[in-house]
Amino acid sequence: MLTTKPSRRARRGLTRRSISAVLGVVAVMLALPIAASATPVTVVPGLPPVEVPDIPGAPKIPGTPSTPKPTPPTPKPTPSTPKTPGVPAIPNVKTSTGWVALAVDQSHQIFWWKDGRFVKKMPISMGSNDHPTPNGVYHTKEKYRDMYMDSSTYGVPVDSAEGYRTYVEYATRMSWDGIFIHAAPWSVAQQGNSNASHGCINVSTENGKWVFNTIPRGTPIVVRGTIGPKYTGD
């Protein structure tokens, strides 16, 4: 089989067509807008892909996807619930025992703290409107496992309309004129709701026992919010 070499004129024509194809590729590349954030690839049939260089500030090619910036996670809110809701601030009084108590007439509750840390609250019933418990700072004194409370000790005869002689348990004296915090099972319905005593702080038998066994002598008990006068003795 004979192979005919292309003539010089044919070779010149082939060279011109190759140069024209390359120039066409360059023209296409220069005509295309260049994306600032991506490197597009131009493909011409019969020729290898040509990458367009990344030029800063060049306009973005329409339709070219861009990588979105990650959204930072939203911080979770910090709970603001108080540690001891419904508990008032500890009274600013000196204590030699580490214990402090606050009896609040409005809520009919007594609150106990030890070394500044809230420990316990309990429902109470203080003095009625006829015998209100005086407001002020008391200090616990002697204790009686059981005793008779007798109105005659402060000048009211037992057989009078206002007189009484009542057996009580777990009585802790708060004042020398006859105010105690003591167990009063007969007034449990009033404890936490209303005042019904002759001036003492009435608590349940269980709570009276806790005070009797736990609270040392000399502990301050603050009474606040009654219609009574100011307590001045101790």
Q: How much is the pLDDT for 62?
A: 53
Higher pLDDT, 207 or 19: 207
Please give the model's pTM, rounded to 2 decimal places.
0.64
Tokens of 72: 């930072």
For 85-125, what is each residue's pLDDT tens digit? 799 999 999 999 999 999 999 999 999 999 999 999 999 99
Residue 160 sits in a domain whose CATH number is 2.40.440.10
Q: Which of 36, 51, 66 is the last residue of a domain?
A: 51
Same structural domain, 108 and 44: no
Same domain, 22 and 131: no
pLDDT score at 169: 98
Does residue 108 sit in the same domain as residue 198? yes
Q: Which of 108, 131, 139, 182 is catalytic?
A: 182
| Separation of alpha carbons 164 and 178, rounded Å | 13
Same domain, 32 and 146: no
Residues 37 and 121 in one domain: no
Range of the domain at 183: 99-224
Q: Is 182 a catalytic residue?
A: yes
Structure tokens at 46: 């019969």
Tell me, yes or no, whether 62 lies in a domain: no
Say if 219 falls within a structural domain.
Answer: yes
Confidence (pLDDT) at 105: 98
Instruction: Give the whole-number percent of the chain exceeding pLDDT 70.
Output: 65
Q: pLDDT at residue 26 above 90? A: no
Q: What is the largest CA-CA distance in the chain?
A: 153
Q: How far is CA 153 from CA 31, 50, 164, 165, 197, in A?
A: 114, 113, 10, 10, 16
Q: Please say whether the beta carbons of 190 and 97 come within 8 A.
A: no
Is residue 207 pLDDT above 90, yes or no? yes
Query: Does residue 91 lie in a domain region?
Result: no
Strands 220-224 and 201-203, by their bridges, are unpaired
- DSSP label of 52: P
Residue 92 included in any domain: no
The answer to whether residues 29 and 138 belong to one domain is: no
Q: Which two tokens stand for residue 161?
A: 């309309």
Strand-pair partners of 169: 146, 183
Mean pLDDT for 144-164 is 85
Residue 72's pLDDT band (boundaries 50, 70, 90)? low
User: Same domain for 113 and 216?
Assistant: yes
Same domain, 139 and 205: yes
Please give the residue that has the higher pLDDT: either 139 or 79: 139
In a domain? residue 209: yes
The average pLDDT across 189-194 equals 98
119 and 220, same structural domain? yes
Whether residue 213 sits in one domain with residue 134 = yes
Residues 104 and 47 in one domain: no
DSSP character at residue 127:
B
| pLDDT greater than 70 at residue 58 | no
Confidence at residue 7, expressed as pLDDT on a 0 to 100 scale: 60
Say what the pLDDT of residue 69 is. Answer: 66
Compute the average pLDDT of residues 115-141: 97
If one compares 39 and 234, the residue with the highest pLDDT of the two is 234
Look at the alpha carbons of 221, 222, 227, 228 in this order and tell me if their dihedral is positive or negative.
Answer: positive
Domains in the chain, number: 2
**Is the same domain home to 27 and 128?**
no
Q: Does residue 200 have an active-site annotation?
A: yes
Structural contact between residues 99 and 113, judged by C-beta atoms closer than 8 angstroms: yes
Q: Which range is most confident: 6-20, 24-38, 90-104?
A: 90-104
Residue 83, pLDDT score: 58
- Is residue 121, in this structure, part of any structural domain at all? yes
pLDDT greater at residue 25 or residue 116: 116
Burial track 149-174 (b if 16+ CB lie within 10 A, e otherwise): bebeeeeeeeeeeeeeeeebbbbbbb
3-state secondary structure of 9: helix
